[in-house]
Amino acid sequence: MTDATSRVRLCFIRHAQSEANLISHTICGQNNSCSLSPLGHEQAVLLGKRLKYQNAKFDYFLCSTAIRAKQTADIVLKVMNIDLSKLITTAV
């Protein structure tokens, strides 16, 4: 049982721009092999810097197995100097 004063905070982050997002009228959807675009890499770095500046803390960082999501998470965590062992990409 959890303490009544315990609070859970969730932070949802969408993956940064993928190569597929550059193609008009294309949605990656079930295609898990789309990589980040150069702008997507920059977006992930900027997000990591912002979260670090805001002193964001994460017990865990859950991520889908999609390449674009994993790349975004890897970049954000590295910029924040968070151990990549906090990244969970498998079903829990």
CA 54/CA 91 separation, integer angstroms: 29
41 is an annotated ligand-binding site residue: no
Cβ atoms within 10 A of the Cβ of 30, count?
Answer: 6
42 is an annotated ligand-binding site residue: no
17 is an annotated ligand-binding site residue: yes
20 is an annotated ligand-binding site residue: yes
Structure tokens that stand for 47 in this block: 């997000």
Cβ atoms within 10 A of the Cβ of 66, count?
Answer: 19
50 is an annotated ligand-binding site residue: no
16 is an annotated ligand-binding site residue: yes
21 is an annotated ligand-binding site residue: yes
Specify binding-site residues.
14-21, 68
Q: Which residues are known binding-site members for substrate? A: 14-21, 68
